[in-house]
Amino acid sequence: MESEAPTMENNPKISAYYQTRLAHFGVVSTEWLAQAQSATNPLPSSSTDSDTDKDTNFSVIDEFNRWRSHPDLAEAVAAIRALAAVISSSKASTMMQLEIELKNASDTLKAWDTTSISLTAASDLFMRYVTRTSALEFEEFNSAKSRLIERADKFGEISYKARKIIAMLSQDFIFDGCTILVHGFSRVVFEVLKLAAHNKKRFRVFCTEGRPDRTGLRLSHELAKLDVPVKLVIDSAVAYTMDEVDMVIVGADGVVESGGIINMMGTYQIALVAKSMNKPVYVAAESYKFARHYLLDQKDLVPAIRPVDFGVPIPLKVDVECSARDYTPPQYLTLLFTDLGVLTPSVVSDELIQLYL
Amino acid sequence: MDARRAPRAVIDPIVRKVGFFTPPDPIPFEFSPSANSLSPVMIPPPRHSSENHDINSRPSVTSPSGDETIAVSGSCNSILSELFPAPMLPAQSPKIGNGDGGGIVASSFPRGGFDLTVVKASGGVPVCKLTTVSVVNADSFAIDEREKPNKGGGSTMEGKDQAMNSKQKKDKSSKAERRALQEAQRAAKAAAKAEGNKASGTATSVNVKSAKAVKAPQKVDNTSVGASEKKGGDRPSEKDRKKDVPHPRMQYDDKSRVEKAKRRAVVNQTEARNRVELFRHLPQYEHGSQLPDLEAKFFQLDPVHPSVYKVGLQYLSGDISGGNARCIAMLQAFQDAIRDYTVPSEKTLVRDLTAKISSYVSFLIECRPLSISMGNAIRFLKSQIAKLPLTLSESESKSSLQSDIENFIYEKIILADKAIVEHAVTKIRDGDVLLTYGSSSAVEMILLHAYELGKQFRVVVVDSRPRLRGKLLLRRLVEKGLSCTYTHINAVSYIMQEVTRVFLGASSVLSNGTVYSGVGTACVAMVAHSFHVPVIVCCEAFKFHERVQLDSICSNELGDPDAISKVSGREDVNDLDAWANTENLQLLNLIYDATPSDYVSMIVTDYGMIPPTSVPVVVRKYSREQVWI
């Protein structure tokens, strides 16, 4: 589309994260897909650049992409699995070397998609685990290596189970006859609703359309399959329908140190409306999404660009706000459902301090 | 009942007058002595003026009655009863705000350790009815009194008493009677030096303070409950009769305590006139006479090491101000003192040195009350002294201590500042308008570093009388080339519209996230909050304290009221020159205030950027770290 072309030139790098999400969940127009595919082309070159440095780099990105293509797999888990693959294919003979290789691989991953919070957070988490265990120098190298791989696999399992744990914890909050507002397609939230439906709870869901991804359409489709009464609302109708809503449940791309969340564009708006009408806002997020960023306002966020398809050509002189996500400050959030338990936003920093300091 | 007891007004507890009223004539009240001697809480001594002022508005227990009962109670030892009546505060104690008594009790509560000693010592003196302030006061007061002579109780009361001369004269009659008794007592307890906290005589919201004050003295080591308690580590070992370590949190309402402290004091301080009732628990002195007085005494500085003396003088004259500067100066003076120290024969290094440090600290307090960070540093030093293995020789111990101090300064202040600067500059973007208030060393470093990194921003420096510290910051920034705007705090709500970030320094951050900083900070933070401007507080981790403070009144520092009445450079503005003579005019010059955590967006420490709710986690980690050192 004509509108897309200039944006593509201006922002050659669409956040890969959103590409993936789109690929999995979105209603994708063919034009956009073509754009996306052309956008993904630079990637092999970046990995080939680093290819000259180390063999492992190439495989990291490759591995990462391979894992990422699974629709059910969280991006963080894909990253961890890729790093585990680095370890197993590494030719290092000491812990220090292994650590350095891992650090390079993790940096490459992070550089590849600078906008993804959970990717950064998960890599940091894994690196932290590695540096901590490597402190046990006396251990034999191979056994340490296998332990790391085992841990990485376990991490994958944990994060997969995390969704189940979160779903279980949030069941108490969904009562019969309640109306839930959800935004965008979060796999964790979907898990929550799935379990609630499975437990024969009677509730109905208002699903925002989630422009420009329009992921809400996909979610409503899935919920309808579960026989949950779903109502689609356009993003601008959130305030209008907030009266009938009992609670808002959203997922998170990342949870920052202040306790706020980074999520799909529109979450902040919904949280503001909910707060002003005294409706609770619950966030379902796995603990590996806790990141060490501290955001003060929207501009502190590294913007993730996502081109918007308006359906009609936009004149060249008109600028389009293409950021794909926003930051919701902690005062608008009620509780966080995580695999560590049901937490208040202020606990996030405590957890991070204990983990990283 | 002691006839001397000032009759206490029974005031309906619901109707309370706070702060600025002269209390009505108190009505005598009987208080049952059988109040629980088991209460571990230290209650601030009753603050009532000798003759008539009712200290606490609570009808149930008023301090005088409390005193009386205590005096009368069989369980009290005679000394107690003698001591008891003493310090009634001369001033019209605002009887009012005693509601806090209960609160005080609560606040004193954590001092478990010495509460026990006190209770023990008091031998059943009814410590308190936790319920009523007055009781608390009375009890604490009693306990204080008891403690003093009691030495055995092991609480070294540290109080710096600066005699509150003028005020003390007020309660003449009953005081005189009490004095007579006391003199007899004193003769008996010549050696007892514990300065009690001045029982917070004036009932006022100060009660909290008094509670703390009372507690503190009780504690052998006076680990401060309140801010800046330096007496850290070795509680029981601190029963040093010779060294009076004034309790840093002494309440100045209690005349007798003030007098005691004054006797011990090196610096001659004269009580200020016309004090604000609400703040009677804080020391305030005439500012003209101290410096020349001390300078004259320079060569008779036997008890005090010359470096410490010098630092004290610098504090007094205001040459050194600012949390970090004061702390570093003090620690370096202690380094010198330790270097020149020799253990007297028949004494152990640990105990003697600790006592010596305590006496230096009390001297410094006389010059200027400690800040919270200084308190933490002193606590660190004392714990290091206490941890010295006995096998070390004297010179090894001394050099180990000196290097500990060196490391402390380097790691906790210098390196911490570097870490803070690194974290904070990431929050400055091009095009920002940054506002700062007063002059904080951390914020200055951040701004200069950001400028060096080439970021485009401009600075608004907000300043306030009477100290006008912002001018110094402004000068230094402009010299380096930053573009600055300078304004007075009156205009902060006007200028806040164009501001994108507010950077503030802090004297300390308390456990509930409250930021304790120079007066005016709370105002700036609140205005920023209402304009949705993020407020970033920059504070080194060693300044964090586990105490909780809810308002700016219970613990603060009073500056020179003359600084308010005079405007430098404007000699023609002299309407307030005769303020001291005016009965119904009081000038109040507060130095600190407390900003609630709701108005703070983020705290930058050497541990990173944390929300105000995570301060207790850092305090816990930090204190654990200290243990490992």
User: Is residue A102 within 8 Å of residue A122, measured between CB atoms?
Assistant: no
Whether residue B618 lies within 8 A of chain A, CB to CB, comes out as yes
User: Is residue B16 within 8 Å of residue B96, measured between CB atoms?
Assistant: yes
Contact (CB<8Å) A257/B611: yes
**What is the per-residue DSSP string for B52-105?**
S--S---SS--HHHHHHHHHHSTTS-HHHHHHTT----SS----GGGGHHHHHH
In terms of DSSP bridges, do strands A341-343 and A335-338 run parallel, antiparallel, or are they unpaired? Answer: antiparallel
| Residue B435, beta-bridge partner list | B460, B502
Q: A342 in helix, strand or coil? A: strand
The distance of A332 to chain B (nearest Cα, Å) reads 14
| Residue B457, beta-bridge partner list | B432
Of A292, A296, A346, the CB nearest to B602: A296
More confident position, A186 or B13: A186
Q: What is the tally of helices (H) and strands (E) in chain A?
A: 14, 10
Contact (CB<8Å) B614/A294: no
User: Is residue B73 within 8 Å of residue B19, measured between CB atoms?
Assistant: no
Contact (CB<8Å) A296/B534: yes
The distance of A346 to chain B (nearest Cα, Å) reads 6
pLDDT for B279-305, tens place per residue?
888 877 766 666 677 677 666 656 788
If you average pLDDT over each of B127-136, B296-305, B550-559, which comes out highest? B550-559
Q: Which of A199, A339, A185 shows the shortest CA–CA distance to A264? A: A185
Q: What is the pLDDT of residue B264?
A: 63
- This complex has an ipTM of 0.75
Q: What is the pLDDT of residue B368?
A: 87
Q: Which of A81, A77, A74 shows the shortest CA–CA distance to A60? A: A81
pLDDT for A102-151, tens place per residue?
888 888 888 877 777 778 888 888 787 777 766 555 567 777 778 878 87
From first CA to last CA, the distance across chain A in angstroms is 49
Contact (CB<8Å) A292/B613: no
Q: What is the pLDDT of residue B395?
A: 87
Residue A69 CB coordination number (10 Å): 12
A44: its two tokens: 């092999």
Whether residue B219 lies within 8 A of chain A, CB to CB, comes out as no
**Alpha-helical regions (H) of B255-393:** 255-264, 290-296, 306-317, 323-339, 349-367, 372-386
Q: Which residues of B22-43 are buried (b: 16+ CB within 10 A; e: fewer)?
A: ebeebebbebebebbbebbbbb
| Residue B595, beta-bridge partner list | B515
B214: its two tokens: 């009372």
What gap in Å lies between CA B62 and CA B468, rounded to an integer?
43
User: Is residue B165 within 8 Å of residue B211, measured between CB atoms?
Assistant: no
pLDDT for B402-438, tens place per residue?
999 999 999 999 999 999 999 999 999 999 999 999 9
From first CA to last CA, the distance across chain B in angstroms is 54
Q: What is the pLDDT of residue B134?
A: 40
Of B602, B617, B618, the CB nearest to A294: B602
pLDDT for B610-626, tens place per residue?
999 989 888 888 777 66
A346: its two tokens: 């202020």
Q: What is the pLDDT of residue B508?
A: 93
Contact (CB<8Å) A349/B610: yes
Q: How confident is the model at residue B70 (pLDDT cuts 50, 70, 90)?
A: very low
Contacts of A346 in chain B (CB under 8 A): 611, 613-614
The distance of B343 to chain A (nearest Cα, Å) reads 41
Residue A264 identity (one-letter amino acid): M
Q: A305 in helix, strand or coil? A: strand
B479: its two tokens: 């010299």
Residues constituting chain B? 629
Contact (CB<8Å) B429/A353: no
User: Is residue A260 within 8 Å of residue A346, measured between CB atoms?
Assistant: no
Q: What is the pLDDT of residue B215?
A: 39
Helix (H) or strand (E) holding A255: strand A254-255
Please confirm whether the linkage preceding B466 is cis (ω < 30° from 0). yes
What gap in Å lies between CA A46 and CA A38, rounded to an integer?
14
